[in-house]
Amino acid sequence: PEGAKVRYIYDNDDRLIRVEEEVQVDTLTLERNSAFVRSTSKAREQSDGKELVYSGNYLSLNAGLDLAEPAKGAELILSYPAELMEVFHVSPSENGVTIDTSIPGEIRITASGNLKRGEAPLAYLMFTAKEQVTGTACVTVDKNSTLTKSGGEYLFSDLSGVLMDVCLPDYNGDRLT
């Protein structure tokens, strides 16, 4: 398991005689609670893993959770480059989810109620790449996003986002405009 240190002891004939473990396997448990942003259209993914978005076009994303055990609520803080992208439309995936887009470059998604174990989207997001602007953009989950359980508020163990290239339209496919 993660964090365990194991030392193998051999005799003079290179036979294993003893294994010393600093952390016992059965005493280390790791709950992985993840928050993610994922693209809903993999057709535009490039070989380097980035999404390709032409200026003036739309990009659809899901924001959600993957929980090791049920939780009482969550607050996701998403960041995006407001100089390259605009929020076009957002919608919650279920009741009890509110979305605040009042601050450019930030989206706050708050989920209250019983969140089930496993993977579930919280919100559907649609962005527009601004006209005549190019660059690399990333929609990420902020490290200060929290998960609320019966014992209090916790940070997520894993965060993931979407990396994209915002380009001018490429009419002949040569990556030059």
pTM of the model: 0.77
Q: What is the pLDDT along the chain (177 residues), one digit of tens a residue?
A: 566 778 888 888 888 888 887 765 455 456 789 999 998 876 576 767 788 888 888 999 999 999 998 999 999 999 999 999 999 999 998 888 999 999 999 999 999 988 899 998 999 999 999 988 889 989 999 999 999 988 889 999 899 999 988 888 777 766 665
Collapsing DSSP to helix, strand or coil, 42 comes out as helix
User: What is residue 159's predicted lDDT score, i.e. its pLDDT?
Assistant: 92
Q: Please state, in angstroms and rounded to a whole number, the distance separating the CA atoms of residues 43 and 59.
A: 12
* Tokens, residue 37: 């942003």
User: What is residue 110's predicted lDDT score, i.e. its pLDDT?
Assistant: 96
User: What is residue 15's predicted lDDT score, i.e. its pLDDT?
Assistant: 85
User: What is residue 177's predicted lDDT score, i.e. its pLDDT?
Assistant: 54
Nearest alpha-carbon partner for 85 in 44, 49, 46, 56? 56
User: What is residue 140's predicted lDDT score, i.e. its pLDDT?
Assistant: 94
Helices (H), the chain: none
C-alpha distance from residue 77 to each of 108, 123, 167 (Å) = 5, 12, 26
Length of the chain: 177
E-state strands within the chain = 6-10, 16-21, 34-39, 51-54, 58-67, 71-79, 85-92, 97-100, 106-115, 118-129, 135-141, 146-149, 152-155, 158-160, 162-167
User: What is residue 165's predicted lDDT score, i.e. its pLDDT?
Assistant: 86
What's phi and psi for 96, nearest 5 deg?
Answer: 90, 5
Using alpha carbons only, give the angle 158, 116, 26 rounded to the nearest 5 degrees.
60
